[in-house]
Structure 1
Amino acid sequence: MFASNVVAAPRITSRKLEADRDRVDALIAGMTIQEKAGQLNLLGDPFRFRPMNVNPLDGQGDPARVTRMIREGLVGNLFNGVGAEAGRRIQTIAVEESRLGIPLLFAADIIHGLKTVFPVPLAEAAAFDADLARRTARAAAVEGAASGIHQTYAPMVDVARDQRWGRGVEGAGEDVWLNEVLAVARVRGFQGEKGLADRDALLATPKHFAAYSAAIAGMDYNTTDMSEATLRGTFLPPFRAAFGAGALSVMTAFNDLNGVPASGNPYLLTEILREEWGFTGFVVSDYTAEQELIAHGFAADGRDAARIALLAGMDMSMVSGLFLEHIPDLVETGDVPLARVDQAVRRVLMTKAALGLFDDPYRGCDPERERRVVGSREHRDLAREAGVKSIVLLKNEGGLLPLKPSGQKIALIGPFGADVDNVFGPWTIWGDETRRISLEAGFRAAMDDEADLAVVMGSDVETALPGGIAAAVLAASQADVVVLAIGESARMSGEAQSRTEIDIPAPQRALAEAVSATGKPVVVLLRNGRAMELSGPIKDAGAIVVTWFLGGEMGHAVADIVFGLVSPSGRLPVSFPHRSGQQPYSYDHKITGRPANNALASQEYVARYRETTNTALYPFGHGLTYGAVTYGAVTPAAATLAWDGEVEVSVDITNAGDHAVEETVQLYIRDRVADLTQPGRRLRDFRKVELAAGQTRAVTFTLRRERLEYVGADGRPKVQPGAFDIWLTSSAQAGDLATLNLTPS
């Protein structure tokens, strides 16, 4: 049933594995308990941090202190420091000046690029393109590995159904299948195809294990509560897919799950992860997550928190220092068995061995290679390609887009017209700020006469500007078309950026209303890290384009779409609601015993709100092109699917427009009768298809029983014989269906 049933990434050979085990066992046998605790101790890198990134809560910003700790074997891992030359100096301390010479593991938050910044992961998910996700992760890995990094804290594979939650920007949206597919692609991109010891590999770290994105009310760090079937059917599959692709580390979550904090949860970290799935890598806490067991009311103090986390299955402590401080005493008193500490140390050291660090501890510490590959032209070209493919055209009345590069006066209005501070988006630490292309710069490069472009802010993101609206109205009145660049700043999405209302800030809504009143045609360019509520003149604009945060090449990528160099092909990985109050919302919600007929304007006593229907304004999977694509009837090759057989399901799609396009055909199913109520639709596959103007193509999918399975009350995949509805269509709210019957075995 999982998207992970694919060939796994290359593994190390049995001979090397045996040699690594012997080396690691010999090291463990010769280590003091303090040195063992040191290998489980992860500190912020004080040598290569930018000053702005040193958290004063760390207490670790003193290079001299950390140098002493490395020499004494009390630090095994550092994170968020970048640079090949400095990396070599730091590694020399561990390898040549400590008693055992165990190399350090260098990790970093490389979420969507290092110096070359790619679209935020949610934006890239809109491309519905696994190969693109693999290639951008590969480029990020090449730059990171050349900069002295061995591990990245990515990909985030949390399925995000509540758009109030700010961290949805780091993931692949609301659908389980899409999250699985992109988890596999990103792990393979980070780790490469040659094995972890390759110089260009980064150890991938799927996060946050588990159910972090299900925080109640969309409030970051909040509690989660769910059934076993929901946990296993929605939130765990992308993790399992990532491990199937070869990921050898995983990060715990901040939340509690059904009353037990994830970072001290033996059911998650041992029973499921180790005993059921056979995961052999190491578990690292999120930032002080094990220390936060105290605030949860789950641990009495730091010593108790370290004990609980260790016994639950956590192997590495991030920043808090609790493992280093308390493991010796916990072992001495018998509260934590020495065997459990040795097990955690073995997992960490075996991963270092898999990365080739014992054979080449200075891997990635070559300044010349760093200068050659980081920020290369090839990577910048890929960033532009990824940006173009991530853009979603929601609406285009009367063919307002594409705009003409000449002979058309354009007023680019809004806080993001000339802005470069918000092109990278959240979770960008090391991006090259000299290579940030604004919308204005992208437009001017695409237009024949720069005099045809007027650029006016009109308002700031969350505050009005004196005289701003008057200046915007004047510019609009003198233009043929208005391009309104509005939305969220990078600080409004990401960690700790939950929102109660997922709408456009009030000053920008006022700006949109004033500009719309001029009567000029309006194109809205949304900058956003989540699905948003659109209202008033923004919702009513002639064209609406979701541009997300597209990275360093943002201005060029948007101009490529707006001026028609490329037809848009992105699809929404999240549902845009009618109202913020619909959250949490996902397209695959249950139908209920009183389903609404959304074609009827007035209904009562059905599953609906008083103010709107139980639908999306723009559903998951929606996205327009500059063509005119129509779908024929869904045609199964047979009316029945044998239990162990397969059947092909086809649809003809036609591009009746004048532009060549790339269409994303989506396969959805619905199990009509099951022993657990089922969603109205579930995505089970998709395919991108190129269509020339006037071309018709048949698109065929092969269905097997496994694609029809769901997770039962016992947490296991299952399916019963019976009728299934099948859609091959353009979005989760579109298309006609066919029926297929699964026969018994």
Structure 2
Amino acid sequence: MDTTQLKHLLGEMTRAEKIGQMVQLAGEFYKEEDSENTGPMHEMNMTPKKMTVSGSVLGISGAETLINIQKEHLAKSRLGIPLLFMADVVHGYRTIFPVPLAMASTWQPELVEESANVSATEAAVSGLHVTFAPMVDLVRDARWGRVMESTGEDPYLNQLYARAFVRGYQGQDLKNDPFSVAACVKHFAGYGAPVAGREYNTVELSERTLKEMYLPAYQAGISEGSKLVMTAFNSLEGVPATANKPLMRETLRKELGFEGVLISDWASVGELIPHGIAKDLKQAGELAIQAGVDIEMMTGGYLNYLNELIDEGKVSEELLNEAVWRILTLKNELGLFENPYRGANSELENNLVFSKEHREKARIVAEESIVLLKNEKQVLPLTHHQKVALIVPEDQSKDVLGPWSWKGEPSESVSVYEGLLNHISKEAIVVKTIDHSKNDRPKDWLDDVSTADVIVAALGESSYMSGEGASRSNIKLPAEQIQVIKELRTLNKPIVLILFNGRPLDLTDVVQDVDSILEAWFPGTEAGTAIGNILYGTKNPSGKLTMSFPRAVGQVPLYYNQDNTGRPLTAYNQEDKYLSRYLDVDNRPLFPFGYGLSYTQFSYSPMKVTLSKSEREQTDKIIVETTITNSGKVTGSEVVQLYIRDKVGQVVRPIKELKRFKKILLEPGEVATILFELNQQDLEYVHQDLSVSVESGEFDLMIGSNSEEVETTTVYLELKKNE
């Protein structure tokens, strides 16, 4: 449909039909057993007649089901406007990939793009048009449950991953590619910074910090072409995002240039009432549309009051038309007017969803995402002649998918036990389960374990303990698991701790009691296969953290790119009390951003810095060169990381900022030369007046294997002044 036809369609629509496009309903409304007098339909004052003009549906899928819903809807729709089907396809549809925080640990945006493409393929053939992903919120507080859905604490990395997810979901040609879905960047804005790490809590950010640290990832997803943006639950500067007109109409629309559909999060329009800025749902609907929210998800503010608000002159017809035009444009960009059943194909659904090829891709991503945090005495990799004692929490052996695996089936996932069987026989494995409902264990529970050569303890969080609504003030392992590790230590056997979790944990209580730690996160469908391959060295671990692990929860929010203070703690003033420090714990994280070990070793040559200058003797480019050698005995991958520090700025600058990285694969003894190139734009920052520029001066250039173990060179840069 061309623009002229689309405008004609808008002109033909009644007000009721326009309002209907702005209403999103849950899939349960379309189930046969529902009626207008039950459940959510009654709560929203929804009727079958009103449903004939509704615009979109969330949380239901299946090619045949959605084709039938679409057919019935079109038969009742006066103008034949198709429904949009949306869902949370966050890290996989049926084939589940590692959680996003784990995928970020691959340091491979191209691999993340491939995972999103697989997810889009499975979702599209199952009838879906839109995924509520990616979540690009910057996160610094491990207490917040939704850190698992983020890609970490660094704005540069988050930008790269935001772009990768959007490209993977939407493909090259959204309209003509039946295996793509529209992406929805979320949650705008600042959702990842709730006070005290408590879900849905207030966010307090300066405008400068918001612009410099948090907005870049949203901007990246939007610049890559994301068709939707979702509002956040939180308030910012005292106003909930869903009603925040300056945030949505000025920052999002004008500053970031977003032209697509703005959708509320679940019931967030209605939540303006308990927030205390709307007295009732009518006022909430008025505030939301004035702010620019195009689609209201699962509350009846638009459905029940928008017509009345327009009659009263509180909302203009222009605002209504503006929102509906964006919704119709999205449907047109998806090709739904030409093919309302776009992508839905039962035969392809049967052949592609959870296919062998997709599971293989999930295994690869899982292997790349696993981070080796500790490996004393080279306990790993295991050897095939060792007898293994496997310790797992009861009922958690298949709990490896994570909290946002909507269509994933835990029963189809590969457990650690099944992964071990790919390498050793079942006779070589002793399995012991922990019952969290009991405080004590039989005194002889360790007898069988003592017959093993090595202990593999697969512990951590359950999926219930992570994700939305799963904030935790205590981010240690469960107390029972800590006690189990203490008891296992008495056997004087090598202990390998495998962590399943969706956030950085406080491991201080157990880190000295185990010999090796594998951070597996929630690895997805092929969890056990990937873990088994890492344990036995079929795959050399290469993941690196994108979020710091604290020594104590009292350190959080904790992040590598913190600002310096007037009284910094350094290597030379450790005995001084009156510094920015804790009395009872080191300032540094237990495991820093960018950290991850390998079964091999890498050595770095001294860095070489070359300054390319313009005719005016101003620095045009900074070229940083280093040589990496695999000095170990096995093939391995290293993530080479380049950081900078602006030593004197007009506002306080971070002590280091990631600017470039490269993941390289080296054979034993192989040498690679790495070149990084920076320009002036890479050095610019947000000033107090919110302008963006940089001044001439000294800069530290740092290169290394993580944010703490770096070589530093200081250079003076003569930079061009912004006009």
After TM superposition, is the score higher than 0.5? yes
Cα 1:663–1:428, aligned 2, differ >3 Å: closer, same or farther? same
Letter in 2 for 1:619: P
Cα 1:577–1:515, aligned 2, differ >3 Å: closer, same or farther? same
Cα 1:598–1:260, aligned 2, differ >3 Å: closer, same or farther? farther
Cα 1:741–1:639, aligned 2, differ >3 Å: closer, same or farther? farther
Alignment correspondent of 2:403: 426
TM-score (norm 2): 0.96
- Residues 1:534 and 2:534 are matched in the alignment: no
Local SS of the residue matching 1:251: strand
Alignment correspondent of 2:484: 511
Local SS of the residue matching 2:386: coil
Cα 1:355–1:643, aligned 2, differ >3 Å: closer, same or farther? farther
TM-score (norm 1): 0.93
Alignment correspondent of 2:392: 414
Moved more, 22-31 or 335-344: 22-31
Moved more, 733-742 or 137-146: 733-742
Local SS of the residue matching 2:576: coil
Local SS of the residue matching 1:520: coil
Letter in 1 for 2:388: I
Match of 1:153 among 122, 132, 136: 132
Match of 2:115 among 127, 136, 139: 136
- Residues 1:624 and 2:597 are matched in the alignment: yes
- Residues 1:445 and 2:418 are matched in the alignment: no
Equivalent residues of 1:512, 1:538 under 8 A apart: no
Cα 1:664–1:322, aligned 2, differ >3 Å: closer, same or farther? same
- Residues 1:290 and 2:290 are matched in the alignment: no
Letter in 2 for 1:23: Q
Local SS of the residue matching 1:381: helix
Alignment correspondent of 2:155: 176
Alignment correspondent of 1:92: 71
Alignment correspondent of 2:466: 493
Structure 1, unaligned runs of 5 or more: 1-18
Cα 1:170–1:537, aligned 2, differ >3 Å: closer, same or farther? closer
Cα 1:458–1:190, aligned 2, differ >3 Å: closer, same or farther? same
After superposition, residues 660-699 of structure 1 pair within 5 angstroms as 660-699=635-674
Whole-Å Cα distance in 1 between the matches of residues 220 and 146 of structure 2?
Answer: 20
Whole-Å Cα distance in 1 between the matches of residues 40 and 572 of structure 2?
Answer: 56
Equivalent residues of 2:399, 2:410 under 8 A apart: no
Alignment correspondent of 1:464: 438
Moved more, 249-258 or 697-706: 697-706
Letter in 2 for 1:24: L
Whole-Å Cα distance in 2 between the matches of residues 308 and 47 of structure 1?
Answer: 26
Letter in 2 for 1:200: F
- Residues 1:654 and 2:632 are matched in the alignment: no
Whole-Å Cα distance in 2 between the matches of residues 337 and 146 of structure 1?
Answer: 39
Moved more, 424-433 or 214-223: 424-433
Whole-Å Cα distance in 1 between the matches of residues 208 and 607 of structure 2?
Answer: 31
Alignment correspondent of 1:635: 608
Whole-Å Cα distance in 1 between the matches of residues 31 and 522 of structure 2?
Answer: 24
Deviations 1:265-317 (A, max 9, x none): 11111001112222110100000111111111111111111001100111110
- Residues 1:248 and 2:248 are matched in the alignment: no
Alignment correspondent of 2:6: 24
Alignment correspondent of 1:735: 710
Whole-Å Cα distance in 2 between the matches of residues 325 and 50 of structure 1?
Answer: 24
Local SS of the residue matching 2:192: helix
Alignment correspondent of 2:431: 455
Alignment correspondent of 2:497: 524
Letter in 1 for 2:648: V
Shift of 1:466: 4.9
Shift of 1:742: 2.0
Shift of 1:217: 0.2
Match of 2:558 among 569, 575, 585: 585
Equivalent residues of 1:509, 1:538 under 8 A apart: no
After superposition, residues 128-527 of structure 1 pair within 5 angstroms as 128-404=107-383, 406-415=384-393, 419-447=396-424, 449-460=425-436, 463-464=437-438, 466-467=440-441, 470-471=444-445, 473-527=446-500
Cα 1:61–1:48, aligned 2, differ >3 Å: closer, same or farther? farther
Equivalent residues of 1:640, 1:742 under 8 A apart: no
Whole-Å Cα distance in 2 between the matches of residues 622 and 265 of structure 1?
Answer: 38
Moved more, 427-436 or 287-296: 427-436
Shift of 1:105: 0.4
Shift of 1:536: 3.1
Shift of 1:595: 0.6
After superposition, residues 576-615 of structure 1 pair within 5 angstroms as 576-598=549-571, 602-615=575-588
Local SS of the residue matching 1:741: strand
Local SS of the residue matching 1:212: coil
Alignment correspondent of 2:26: 44
Local SS of the residue matching 2:57: strand
Local SS of the residue matching 1:609: coil
Cα 1:100–1:420, aligned 2, differ >3 Å: closer, same or farther? farther
Equivalent residues of 1:70, 1:93 under 8 A apart: no
Equivalent residues of 1:598, 1:614 under 8 A apart: no
Deviations 1:575-623 (A, max 9, x none): 0011111011101111211110257653311111111121111000000
Local SS of the residue matching 2:2: helix
Equivalent residues of 2:139, 2:147 under 8 A apart: yes
Shift of 1:690: 1.1
Moved more, 88-97 or 228-237: 88-97
Alignment correspondent of 1:70: 51
Shift of 1:697: 1.6
Alignment correspondent of 1:556: 529
Shift of 1:476: 2.8
Shift of 1:194: 2.2
Shift of 1:470: 4.2
Give the aligned length.
Answer: 715
Name the % identity.
39
Local SS of the residue matching 1:268: helix
Alignment correspondent of 2:689: 714
Local SS of the residue matching 1:446: coil
Letter in 1 for 2:413: R
Letter in 1 for 2:213: T
Letter in 2 for 1:358: F
Letter in 2 for 1:444: L
Deviations 1:315-368 (A, max 9, x none): 110000211111100111110000000000000000110000011111122211
Whole-Å Cα distance in 2 between the matches of residues 307 and 334 of structure 1?
Answer: 11
Moved more, 488-497 or 537-546: 537-546
Cα 1:288–1:468, aligned 2, differ >3 Å: closer, same or farther? farther
Local SS of the residue matching 1:214: coil
Equivalent residues of 2:398, 2:414 under 8 A apart: no
Alignment correspondent of 1:4: none
Deviations 1:419-466 (A, max 9, x none): 34411111111113442110001001221x321111101343xx4365
Letter in 2 for 1:429: W
Cα 1:490–1:50, aligned 2, differ >3 Å: closer, same or farther? farther
Cα 1:644–1:737, aligned 2, differ >3 Å: closer, same or farther? closer
Whole-Å Cα distance in 2 between the matches of residues 702 and 736 of structure 1?
Answer: 17
Local SS of the residue matching 2:187: coil
Whole-Å Cα distance in 2 between the matches of residues 469 and 231 of structure 1?
Answer: 55
